[in-house]
Amino acid sequence: MPPSSTLVLTAAPGSGAVTEDVARATLGALPGGDAEAQWLSPGEAWEARFAAGAGHDPALLRAAAEGAIGALPIDVNIVAGDSASRRKRLLCADMESTIITQELIDEMAKLAGCHDEISAITARSMRGEVNFEGSLMERMALFAGLEAHRLEAILADVTFIPGARALVATMRANGAWTALVTGGFTIFAERIAAELGFHAVVANVLEIENGELMGRVREPIVGPESKADALRRLATEGDLALQETLAVGDGANDVAMLGAAGLGVAFRAKPVLEDRARTSDNGAIVRHGDLTALLYLQGYRREEFAA
């Protein structure tokens, strides 16, 4: 029997883009007419659930909904599972451009006076054009001699993506384990994780001697495959099925991690990751909403968000 599935519409908080008219038009466009619809947050999030055995093709459901919505700034996703299984028990989140707005290696480059060179390498890596591990070592070499205490200025300017606090707090309040899994560095990730309440951090370690960066990171390097391995390891340690996990990221080095998760969300993502999410059975795409969209994808209502 085909599993139950849910079509979820989300938009930016406060935008009011998901109107009653939009919900009505979307419901009318869906094949079968057997969906159970409800608001998760008026103006912001709405869903239509299909019972197990309905046999609707997710691609056809998405196409019908997108046709009804047109060019409105609304994200359309199909999520498998009933209301219980949609709520995940492990969150693995990328850090840069996912939980925080910055790419911190670019901020380090500004301090070291090599921003243009570093930024170009970073952009190519995130688009999947160059090997992550090799590009990381290439970039790190340019930081040799940089005084470690200067990195505090970067931390002082870090800004969180809207919805990050609510995402972590709500999942924690409902019994989920939360981990920041990043190809970035522990010197930043541990402080950011502590601020937001993540349980665990998986990140690279900068080699520092006599207060200066050595231009190297300790092995093993946290890269694309090891991020996926971290999700699997954390699931095993928590005695969880992979179906009970959620991963979110924005770049090419998140492809494997999102593919391993029960629900993999491409958040304001590079084309290579968004394309994978669109063609994946477990993928979702968030372009317009903030990180609270990940809660709506799990079936949480706005009033259930933790403070």
Residue 57 lies in a domain: yes
Domain count along the chain: 1
Asked whether 264 and 283 are in contact (CB, 8 A), the reply is yes
Q: CA–CA separation, 21 vs 6, rounded Å?
A: 19
CA angle 14, 251, 57 (to 5 degrees): 70
Residue 64 lies in a domain: yes
Residue 65 lies in a domain: yes
Q: Please write the tens of the pLDDT for every residue from 125-171.
A: 777 787 888 888 889 999 999 999 999 999 999 999 999 999 999 99
Residue whose token pair is 């593919």: 259
Give the model's pLDDT for residue 285: 98
Residue 59 lies in a domain: yes
Q: Which residues pair with 45 in a beta bridge?
A: 10, 41
Residue 73 lies in a domain: yes
Task: Calculate the average pLDDT of the chain.
Answer: 93
pTM of the full predicted structure? 0.93
Give the model's pLDDT for residue 1: 40
Give the model's pLDDT for residue 193: 98
Residue with the larger pLDDT of the pair 81 and 43: 43
Q: Please write the tens of the pLDDT for every residue from 188-203.
A: 999 999 999 999 999 9
Residue 43 lies in a domain: yes
Domain that holds residue 20: 1-86
Residue with the larger pLDDT of the pair 69 and 33: 69
Residue 17 lies in a domain: yes
Mean pLDDT of the 219-239 span: 96
Query: Taken in order 260, 266, 267, 272, is the CA torsion positive or negative?
Result: positive
Residue with the larger pLDDT of the pair 96 and 50: 96
Residue 62 lies in a domain: yes
Q: Which residues pair with 57 in a beta bridge?
A: none
CATH number of 41's domain: 3.30.70
Q: Please write the tens of the pLDDT for every residue from 212-225.
A: 999 999 999 999 99
Q: Which residue stretches of the chain are H helix? A: 20-29, 58-69, 104-112, 115-126, 132-141, 152-156, 164-173, 186-196, 224-237, 255-260, 271-279, 293-297
Q: CA–CA separation, 176 vs 193, rounded Å?
A: 15
Using CA atoms, how far residue 262 sits from 66, 167, 231, in Å, is 24, 17, 11
